[in-house]
Amino acid sequence: MQEEIWKSVPNYENYYQVSNLGRVKSLSRFIFRPQGSYYTKEKILINKLDGNNYHFVCLCVNDVRKYYKVHTLVAICFLNHKPNGKQDIVIDHIDNNKDNNKLSNLRLITQRENSSKNYKNKTSIYTGVSRTKNNKWRSSIMIKGKTINLGEYKCETLAHFKYLQKLKDI
The dihedral through the CA atoms of 114, 71, 47, 36 has a sign that is negative
pLDDT tens-digit series, residues 91-148? 999 888 999 999 999 999 887 777 666 554 456 778 888 888 888 899 888 887 788 8
Length of the chain: 170
53-57, long-range: CB < 8 A, 24+ apart = 53/98, 54/98, 55/22, 55/98, 55/99, 55/101, 57/24
Domains and CATH numbers, the chain: 6-111 (3.90.75.20), 119-169 (3.30.730)
pTM of the model: 0.70
- The span from the CA of 92 to the CA of 72, in Å, is 10
What pLDDT is attached to residue 145? 75
- What are the phi and psi torsion angles at 51 (to 5°)? -65, -20
